[in-house]
Structure 1
Amino acid sequence: MDELTDFHRELIADVQGDADAMGMITAEAFLEKVSEILDEAGEASSLSQGYFSGRNGQKTVQVDAYSWDPTDEEGVLSLVICDFVLSEEPQSIGKTDINKLLTRLVEFVVAAKTREFREKLEETSNGFVIADLIARIWKQVGKIKLILVTNRINNSKTDAQPVGSIGNVPVTSNVWDLSRIQRFVSSGQTREDLIVDFAEDFGDPVPVLKASYDGAPLESFIAVIPGTQLAAIYDKWEARLLEANVRSFLQARNKVNRGIRDTIRDEPNMFFSYNNGLTATAEAVEIADMGEGLLLMSATNFQIVNGGQTTASIHAARKLDQLKDVFVQMKLTVVPPDLAEEVVPRISQYANSQNKVNAADFFANHPFHIRMQEFSRRVLAPAGDSSYRETKWFYERARGQFADERARRTPAERKRFDAEFPRLQFFTKTDLAKFENSYRCKPHIVSFGAQKNFGELARVVGEEWGRGDAGFDEVWFKRLIAKAIIFKNLERLVPHQPWYAGGYRANIVTYAFAKVVHDAEQRKRVLDLDQVWKLQRVPVAMERACLAVAEVANEVITHPPAGVRNLSEWAKKQACWAELSKLPVDYEAGFFDSLIDPDEARANKRDERREREARSGIEAQREVVSQGADYWKQVLAFGESIGKLDPREIGILRACTFLPTRIPTERQCVAALTIADKLEKYYPDS
C-alpha cells in the first residue's frame, strides 16, 4: 500500500499543479490526465470533456466526457464519469457507489433520447451538445461503454462487465481506479490478468488437440472456435486481445477485410476452408480431460498475435444470422510471462496471416528502433536560419503511430502537435532504410523497394548492434536526420529540373545521394552532416552538387546497356551503381571546400558527447523543464521496473515529476539528465 500511497500523493500534486497552471478545477485536471491514459491504453480514444450534471424527473444524470468516431464501424459510444476526491491518503470505493455513479451515465443516455429532456437544456450547454449527439447517432450506435475514472481504490474487482442494454444496444462498464492508473503509469499494465473463461462466460469450453510432445519447450494446442464465441470474446475485451500483435488492427478497409465479410455473408459454411485462422498465445491455460478429448476451459492473458483482422471482421458481422455457421481454426501456444517478450514477437513473425505482414513490421520491436523512437520524441531540432522555433522529427516505429497521435488530440492539441512535429518531419522505418542505405552507397538495394531494402538494413544494423550499440547514440540520430533532410530535399527538387522527363524519381534520388557520398569518400572526405543538422536544411554548395549528380544519375538510369529494356530492373543491378560510381561529375569548387575530414567528423561527435556530459546547471534545468513531468514519470517508472535506480536516484527523478509546480535545483537537473543517460542503454530491453 505504501507504493500506492506515494503514487496517490504524487498524482494529487500533479493534478493540483496542472489545475493551477491551466486555470481548471482539480477534477477537470484529473480527468484530462486520465483521458490521455485511456487513449493510450485503447480504452477510449479522442475523449472530449463535457461536464454536465442535472436531473431528469426524479433521476440524477451526469456525464463528464464522451467519445464517438463516426468512421468506427463498430459504432462504440464511450461515456465517462469522473470521481475525484482531494485527500492525503487514498480512499476506497465500493460496488454500491460505483453502481450509483454509472447509473447516472445510464440515466443520461436514456434522457438524451427524449426530446422533452433535450428541449429543456440550454443549446450551448455541454449537456445539450452530448444529448443531441446521442439522439442523432443513435441508429449507428452498436455498443455503449460506460467508464468510471476515480482516484479512489476499487474494492469490487470488475473489468469490462456487461450491464445490460439500453434499447437494443448492449452496455458494458469499466472502472479505472487508482490502482489501475498506477499500474498503467508504472508498467503499462492496464488491468488485472485478462482471463478468458470459455466455459463460464462464453457458452462452452473449446475442444482442443494437444500439438506438443511431453517435455516440449512450449505447450501448444490446435482448436476450432465458433465464430459466435470469438465475436463475443472480442466484444468484451476488444483491442486488448490484440496487444501482442505484430501490428494494430486499425479498422483497415482493404480488399482482404471486405473479402472476409463477403465470405461470412455469402458463404459462411466455407469460412473455415478459406480462412487462414488465428495464432494465439496465453500465459496459462486450464485444460480438462473429459475422457473423450481435451477441453480448453480458460486462458490467462489470452492474446491473438496473428488474425486480428479476421477476429475484428467476425465481430463486425456478429449481427448476421450466418455467423452461426462460421468456424475458425486456432493455434494456441502457452508462453510463460518470462518468455513473452522474446517469443511472442517471433510467433507473430512466422505465423501465417490473412494479410501479408511486411518485414518492416517484424523488426519494429528491435532495440534499435525503440531507441530511435525515444530520440525522436525527445531531441529538439534547431530552429536553423529559416524558422523561429525548435521542432522534432517524428519517427514512426510502428505503423499508424503518427496518425494515432494526432487523431486522439483535440483540435487545439493538434495545432500544438503539428507545430512540434511538422508533417514534413515525419518518417517511417522504411524511410529510414532509404536514407541510411543511400548514404551507405547501396542505391541498387534501395531500388528493390521498401521491404527488401528494409530487410537489408535490418540485417546489417542487427549485426552492427550485436557487436555494440554504443555508436547508435543521439549524435547518430541527429546525423540520420541530416541524411533525411538531404534525401527529402532531393525528392522535392528533382521533378522540377529541366532534364527530368518524369518517372524514376525514386531511383534518381537514391543514386544521386549515394554518388555524392561516394565521390566525397574518394577524396577521403565526408559530408558535413552536423552542419545540415544545425541548419535544418541543405547548404547551397551541397544542394548544387546533389542536383549535378542527379542529372548524371538520370542519364545512367534511363540509358541502360544494350539489351536492357526494363529501366526499373536496371536500377536494381549492382552494375548500374558501378557505372554511375565511376563516372566523373562536374562539381562546383565550393562543394569540395564544404566537405570535412573524417577525423574532424569523429572529433565533432566526441565533442558533442563531452558537451552533453558537461552540461551547465542552467542548461540542464532548461532541458529537464522542457521534457515535462510526464517524461520524467516515464523515466522513473522504467528505471524502477528494471531495478537500476538507487534511493538517491529515485528521489532525484521524483523531484522532476512535480513539474511545473516545483522546479528541481540545477544540481538535481544535472543528476537527472545523467540518470536518464544511464538508463538509455537499458531502454531497448524494456
Structure 2
Amino acid sequence: MMLEDFHAMVCEDARADHEAGRYRTTEEAMEGILCGYLEEEQVINDIQLSPYQKTNTSRQAMMVSAHAFDEKNATLNLLAVKWERSNKLVKMSHNDVNRMFKMVRRFYRNAKAGMYKEMEETDAAYTLAQLIYERQSFISTVRVFLVSNAIVDIEPPADAEEEDTIFSYDIWDIDRIFRLIGQAGNAGENDIRLRDQYDCSICMLKMQADHQKYDCYVGMLPGIVLARIYDEHGQQLIERNVRSFLQAKNAVNKGIRDTVRDEPEMFMAYNNGISTVAAWIEADELGNGVVSVHSLHDWQIVNGGQTTASLANAYKANLDMSQVFVPVKLTILKSNRQKDLIIAHISKYANSQNKITMSDFSANTLWHVEMEKLSRRIWVPSRQRMRWFYERARGQYLVELNRQNTVARKKTFREENPKSHVVTKTIAAKCMMCAMQKPYLVSKGSETNFVKFMELVEAGKIPFPNEQYYKHMVANVILFDKCDRIVKSLQLGDYKANVVAYTIALTYRLYESEIDLDKIWARQNIDEKLELLLKKLAQAVWEHITHPTIEGTNITQWCKREECWNLLLKRQGLDIASVEEEDEDEEA
C-alpha cells in the first residue's frame, strides 16, 4: 500500500463513520481515526476525545482535540488534530504548525486559570479544563501533539519550561502514522548486516548446553550502533515487544538520557540491557564458545524498547556515545513450532521485572489465536458476504489488506471485512468486561482493563473461545457501539465513555433476560425495546456519576472506583456487588 492509498482509505473511513452515525461530523471522525491509530500502536494510551475550538480572534484562539492523562508519570498529553479536507495529500505550512501549537498552549494556560467555571458541563472539553485547573500543581510534563492527515515537513518546537512544567512537542503527520502502522503490522524480516552496514560485529558467548528448541548468546553492543539500527528500522524492531517507547519524560527515560550525557562509561553497569530473538545469524567462530556475529536475520527486540529508543534520541541529540555499551541477550529459535508462544513468554518474563501499567500479555496466547481463527471463518448472517475481523496483533488488518495484490482484490477484502467491523483485542475485552458488570475497571482505561481481562482468562474464569462465545462477543461489541451512539445523541457531556460502560453494566444487572445475544448476532443490531432501555438507563447513569458522595470529586476518577458502581446499584435498590480479589487494586 502506498501513502496515497492509505490517505484515501483514512478519508473514506472518516466519511463512512460519520454517515453511519458514529461521529457528529467528518472532522470528529478523522480525529477519532487518527487518535485511534496512535492508541492502538501504544504511542499514547487511553486517549479521550475532547474537541474544543475558539477562533474569534487570533490572539485569543485556542483549541484541543483530545487528551490523555498519565497520572503515574504526572504527564498530560494534549492532542490537536488538523484535518485537511482535500482528497489529495497536501503539506501543512510552517505558520499553520506554529499556530496549532500556540492554540493548544493557550488552552492549557486558560484552563489553569479556571476556564471550566465559564463552560457548560455538557461541553466536550469541560472535564479536561477542570482536570487541568485542579491538578495543575501535580502536572510536571505537558506533551503537545500535532496530528494530521497532511504531510508536515517541519521539526516541532524545542522543549520549554514554564512555571516548573515541561512542555514537549511532537508531530504525527499522515506519513509518520503510515510508517508506524505499516512497520508495526508488517511481519517482514529485519536483516541487520552489522559488518557491511555498521562496520561492527558483536562478540558473544554461546550457551554451552545444547538445546533442541533454541541457542542462546550473551554479549554487548555499542550504543551508537543500536541507536543507528533503531533510527533506520524504527518500530519494526520491537513489533513483538509488549510495549512501544512512549516518548514520555518519565524516570526511566530521563535516567537513560542522563547517564549517556553525564556518565556514559557507567551505562553498561547501570542498564539491564536488551533481550532479542532472531531466526538465524551469520558469525565467525573464535573458539571456546565465543563467536563474532556479523549478520542478524529476522531480528526482534522483545525487551528493551525504551532503552533502544532512548539511545536513538541521544544519538539524534548528538550526545557523545563512544563509551556507551549495551548488554545483549540473543535467542535463536531452531524451529517455527511454538515460535510465537516462546517469543511471547520471553517478552512477558523479561518485562515482568519492570513496574509498568501497560499490558504485558502477548497477542500470541492461544485464547487470542483461537478468536482470530473463529473470526476468519464465521460470516455474518446476511445477504451481503461480510465478517467481523478480530485483530489479535497490532496492524493485522492493514497487513491482510496489503496482501491483496490487485485493486479489485483490495476492494473485495474491504467489502468482506469493513473497517467498521474490525475488533481489536482491547475493544473485545472492554465490551466483555462491561457485560460482566465491571464498569469501574473499564473506566480505568483499555490497558488496565485488558490486563484484568487476561487475568480472568488465565484463571479459567472466562471460557476458551468456541463459535457461540465468539458470536456473543461480537453481539456485545454491537451492543456497546449502539449504546455509544445513543449516549452521544443525548449530548450528556465529556463523560461518554464512563456513561456507556456503566449503562451496559447496569442493563445486564437489571435486564439481562432482555439481552438476547443470539438475536443481536442474527440481526447484527439491537431491537427497539433494548434501545429504549439503554436511553432510559443512560440518563440514570449520568445523574448518578455526576453526583458522587463527596461534592467536587473529579468525575473521571470517581468512575474508576468500585464504590461508584456499588452506589449506583444501591440507588437502584439492588444488592451491592461482591468484592472480588482481582478488583482490589485501585488505580487512578
TM-score (norm 1): 0.45
Are 1:507 and 2:498 matched, yes or no?
yes
CA apart distance, 1:237 = 9.4
Q: Which residue of 1 aligns with 2:447?
A: 451
CA apart distance, 1:394 = 2.0
Are 1:364 and 2:359 matched, yes or no?
no
CA apart distance, 1:452 = 1.4
> Is the contact between residue 444 and residue 572 of structure 1 (CA under 8 Å) also seen in structure 2?
yes
In structure 1, what is the Cα distance between the partners aligned to 2:374 and 2:363?
Answer: 15
> Is the contact between residue 243 and residue 303 of structure 1 (CA under 8 Å) also seen in structure 2?
yes
Q: Indicate how the Cα distance of structure 1 residues 530 and 342 shifts in structure 2: closer, same or farther if over 3 A, else same.
A: closer
Gaps of 5+ in 2: 7-152, 154-185, 574-588
559, 562, 571: which is aligned to 2:550?
562
Amino acid at match of 1:364: A
> Is the contact between residue 363 and residue 392 of structure 2 (CA under 8 Å) also seen in structure 1?
yes
Amino acid at match of 2:499: I
> Is the contact between residue 269 and residue 325 of structure 1 (CA under 8 Å) also seen in structure 2?
no
Tell me, what secondary structure is at the counterpart of 1:351?
A: helix
In structure 2, what is the Cα distance between the partners aligned to 1:517 and 1:454?
Answer: 20
In structure 2, what is the Cα distance between the partners aligned to 1:510 and 1:324?
Answer: 49
Q: Which residue of 2 aligns with 1:572?
A: 560
Q: Indicate how the Cα distance of structure 1 residues 337 and 208 shifts in structure 2: closer, same or farther if over 3 A, else same.
A: closer
Are 1:434 and 2:434 matched, yes or no?
no
- Higher helix share goes to which structure? 1
More moved, 406-415 vs 419-428? 406-415
CA apart distance, 1:244 = 4.8
In structure 2, what is the Cα distance between the partners aligned to 1:362 and 1:575?
Answer: 28
Matches within 5 A, 1:231-270: 244-246=240-242, 270=264
Amino acid at match of 1:446: V
Matches within 5 A, 1:233-632: 244-246=240-242, 270=264, 273=267, 277-282=273-278, 294=290, 296-297=292-293, 303-307=300-304, 325=322, 327-334=324-331, 336-337=333-334, 340-351=339-350, 359-360=358-359, 362-383=361-382, 389-406=384-401, 412-464=408-460, 469=464, 472-497=465-490, 500-521=491-512, 525=513, 527-562=515-550, 565-584=553-572
> Is the contact between residue 433 and residue 457 of structure 1 (CA under 8 Å) also seen in structure 2?
yes
Q: Indicate how the Cα distance of structure 1 residues 202 and 509 shifts in structure 2: closer, same or farther if over 3 A, else same.
A: closer
RMSD: 5.0
Tell me, what secondary structure is at the counterpart of 2:361?
A: helix
> Is the contact between residue 275 and residue 328 of structure 1 (CA under 8 Å) also seen in structure 2?
no
Q: Indicate how the Cα distance of structure 1 residues 382 and 290 shifts in structure 2: closer, same or farther if over 3 A, else same.
A: closer
> Is the contact between residue 442 and residue 501 of structure 2 (CA under 8 Å) also seen in structure 1?
yes
> Is the contact between residue 361 and residue 399 of structure 1 (CA under 8 Å) also seen in structure 2?
no
In structure 1, what is the Cα distance between the partners aligned to 2:417 and 2:273?
Answer: 39
CA apart distance, 1:425 = 1.9
1:497-529 CA deviation, whole Å, 9 max, x = no partner? Answer: 2xx5412111111111111111125xxx35211
Q: Which residue of 2 aligns with 1:599?
A: none
Q: Which residue of 1 aligns with 2:581?
A: none
> Is the contact between residue 434 and residue 446 of structure 1 (CA under 8 Å) also seen in structure 2?
yes
Amino acid at match of 2:428: L
> Is the contact between residue 277 and residue 333 of structure 2 (CA under 8 Å) also seen in structure 1?
no
In structure 2, what is the Cα distance between the partners aligned to 1:282 and 1:346?
Answer: 15
Amino acid at match of 2:322: D
More moved, 473-482 vs 234-243? 234-243
Q: Indicate how the Cα distance of structure 1 residues 483 and 203 shifts in structure 2: closer, same or farther if over 3 A, else same.
A: same
1:108-148 CA deviation, whole Å, 9 max, x = no partner? Answer: xxxxxxxxxxxxxxxxxxxxxxxxxxxxxxxx9xxxxxxxx
Q: Indicate how the Cα distance of structure 1 residues 327 and 402 shifts in structure 2: closer, same or farther if over 3 A, else same.
A: farther
CA apart distance, 1:288 = 5.5
Tell me, what secondary structure is at the counterpart of 1:304?
A: strand
Q: Indicate how the Cα distance of structure 1 residues 389 and 515 shifts in structure 2: closer, same or farther if over 3 A, else same.
A: same
Q: Which residue of 2 aligns with 1:98?
A: none
Tell me, what secondary structure is at the counterpart of 2:537?
A: helix
How many residues get paired?
380
1:525-553 CA deviation, whole Å, 9 max, x = no partner? Answer: 35211111111111000010111111111
Gaps of 5+ in 1: 1-35, 40-44, 47-139, 141-187, 586-686
> Is the contact between residue 278 and residue 328 of structure 1 (CA under 8 Å) also seen in structure 2?
no
Q: Indicate how the Cα distance of structure 1 residues 517 and 189 shifts in structure 2: closer, same or farther if over 3 A, else same.
A: closer
Q: Indicate how the Cα distance of structure 1 residues 200 and 453 shifts in structure 2: closer, same or farther if over 3 A, else same.
A: closer
Q: Indicate how the Cα distance of structure 1 residues 242 and 444 shifts in structure 2: closer, same or farther if over 3 A, else same.
A: closer
> Is the contact between residue 284 and residue 334 of structure 1 (CA under 8 Å) also seen in structure 2?
no
1:81-105 CA deviation, whole Å, 9 max, x = no partner? Answer: xxxxxxxxxxxxxxxxxxxxxxxxx
> Is the contact between residue 277 and residue 302 of structure 2 (CA under 8 Å) also seen in structure 1?
yes
Q: Indicate how the Cα distance of structure 1 residues 396 and 197 shifts in structure 2: closer, same or farther if over 3 A, else same.
A: closer
In structure 2, what is the Cα distance between the partners aligned to 1:431 and 1:420?
Answer: 20
In structure 2, what is the Cα distance between the partners aligned to 1:228 and 1:427?
Answer: 39
Amino acid at match of 2:497: A
Q: Indicate how the Cα distance of structure 1 residues 371 and 465 shifts in structure 2: closer, same or farther if over 3 A, else same.
A: farther
Q: Indicate how the Cα distance of structure 1 residues 357 and 282 shifts in structure 2: closer, same or farther if over 3 A, else same.
A: farther
> Is the contact between residue 203 and residue 220 of structure 2 (CA under 8 Å) also seen in structure 1?
yes
1:374-430 CA deviation, whole Å, 9 max, x = no partner? Answer: 2223321133xxxx6242222221122234444666655544333222232222111
> Is the contact between residue 195 and residue 295 of structure 2 (CA under 8 Å) also seen in structure 1?
no
Amino acid at match of 2:427: D
CA apart distance, 1:484 = 0.8
> Is the contact between residue 220 and residue 326 of structure 2 (CA under 8 Å) also seen in structure 1?
yes
Matches within 5 A, 1:111-122: none
Tell me, what secondary structure is at the counterpart of 1:464?
A: coil
CA apart distance, 1:226 = 2.6
1:61-91 CA deviation, whole Å, 9 max, x = no partner? Answer: xxxxxxxxxxxxxxxxxxxxxxxxxxxxxxx
CA apart distance, 1:329 = 0.7
In structure 2, what is the Cα distance between the partners aligned to 1:321 and 1:567?
Answer: 45
> Is the contact between residue 218 and residue 327 of structure 2 (CA under 8 Å) also seen in structure 1?
yes
In structure 1, what is the Cα distance between the partners aligned to 2:566 and 2:485?
Answer: 26
In structure 2, what is the Cα distance between the partners aligned to 1:321 and 1:573?
Answer: 46
Q: Indicate how the Cα distance of structure 1 residues 325 and 360 shifts in structure 2: closer, same or farther if over 3 A, else same.
A: same
Q: Which residue of 2 aligns with 1:49?
A: none
CA apart distance, 1:372 = 1.5
> Is the contact between residue 564 and residue 570 of structure 1 (CA under 8 Å) also seen in structure 2?
no
Amino acid at match of 1:331: V
Percent sequence identity is 30
Tell me, what secondary structure is at the counterpart of 1:503?
A: coil
1:624-670 CA deviation, whole Å, 9 max, x = no partner? Answer: xxxxxxxxxxxxxxxxxxxxxxxxxxxxxxxxxxxxxxxxxxxxxxx
Amino acid at match of 1:515: L
CA apart distance, 1:215 = 10
Larger radius of gyration: 1
In structure 2, what is the Cα distance between the partners aligned to 1:413 and 1:284?
Answer: 34
